[in-house]
Amino acid sequence: EPEVTQTPSHQVTQMGQEVILRCVPISNHLYFYWYRQILGQKVEFLVSFYNNEISEKSEIFDDQFSVERPDGSNFTLKIRSTKLEDSAMYFCASRSLPGLAGVEQYFGPGTRLTVT
């Protein structure tokens, strides 16, 4: 069964450094998402991406964040200058179709980002 994959599984970085989290969505999916979960808190929506552009972003997704689909298979989340409060589990998700037919989102296993 096709799966969403994410790399790395765990990333440790120093405050102020740039990180890129990578996701490979399911191949025929069209909508892509990033969510994050700070330890002990809710899974929060960050951004959605469709047709090579951001379709919606949350207030968390400020100028330090960017997303890209550089090659038609990878979907990346870049944090330009990490802060301690960016430490979280980051989940990528994808879905296939608009409307109810494709509303189920398939999630990757997550990348645990630790900012020291």
Q: Which residues bind other proteins (CB under 8 A)?
A: 3-4, 31, 33, 35, 41-45, 48, 50, 55-56, 91, 93, 95, 98, 100, 103-105, 107-110
CA atoms within 13 A on the CB side of 109: 7
CB of 56 to other proteins, least distance (A): 4
Which CB atom, from 48 or from 82, has the smaller least distance to other proteins? 48
CB of 104 to other proteins, least distance (A): 6
Instruction: Burial-class residue 36 by CB neighbours within 10 Å (0-12, 13-18, 19+).
Output: buried
Phi first, then psi: give them for residue 38, nearest 5 degrees: -75, 145
Which CB atom, from 77 or from 110, has the smaller least distance to other proteins? 110
Helix, strand and coil in the chain, % to nearest 5: 5, 50, 45
CB of 115 to other proteins, least distance (A): 22
